[in-house]
Structure 1
Amino acid sequence: MSESVSEAPAVEASLQAFIETLRDSETYQQFVDASEQLEADEEAQSLLETYQEKQQELQRDEFDSSVMSELQELQTELSNNETIQQHRAAQEELVALLEQTNDVISEQIRREFAQSSGGGCC
């Protein structure tokens, strides 16, 4: 039996322990809570949807200063919406935690762990 096959259960068990630890972390729980609050906030959902629609409108049509102005106003509303800001902050905290995790793993294996190779195989 090859060594890589015999390591698979140990790696899987360690991965499961990591996932459980991450799920139990305060940072992850805050992100989940903020996501649930965002999903339940109709005003925030409406703002986000309108913002996305205006972005798409701006991308598919020729430049329109009125659409750009509307986008800027919507950005202000988004940044003033407490639910959206709490979600963004929680997401940033979770991303920072995952980046730190990636750094530790990369340091331990002496290679970039979560690095994109840019697509195709060749």
Structure 2
Amino acid sequence: MALAMARPWKHPKTGVFYLRVKVPRDVVSVFGTELVKQSLRTKDEAAAKSEHTARLAELHKRWAQLRTGVQSLSHRQVEALAGEVYQAIFATYPGDMRNWIIGAHTGIHLVVPRRKRR
């Protein structure tokens, strides 16, 4: 018996292709849902197949990371990540970093320019 390959699902009314995949049982509790349904934002079958393959690979990668859990980093790895974060922040907010306050909150903007005192 042949296994069915995952393929894009075409919405019967709109004709737009979707990615529809059942989440593996071992990661459902961590992932938060039993079914992933994402629009591929195309009606072209060839483009849908390409996008479906890319998104499915990304999902499988994410599920594998969820299975491994939290991993400890070496001091060298922490320094490397800090350097990457510094470069990304500096590219987004150029200027003197001594005038910045780094927030401990989550969100899009982690760095906010410090307000000048009067």
Shorter-normalised TM-score: what interval? under 0.3
Higher relative contact order by CA 8 Å / sep ≥ 6: 1 or 2?
1
Normalising by structure 2, we get a TM-score of: 0.24
Which has the larger strand fraction?
A: 2
Please state which structure has a larger fraction of its residues in helix.
Answer: 1
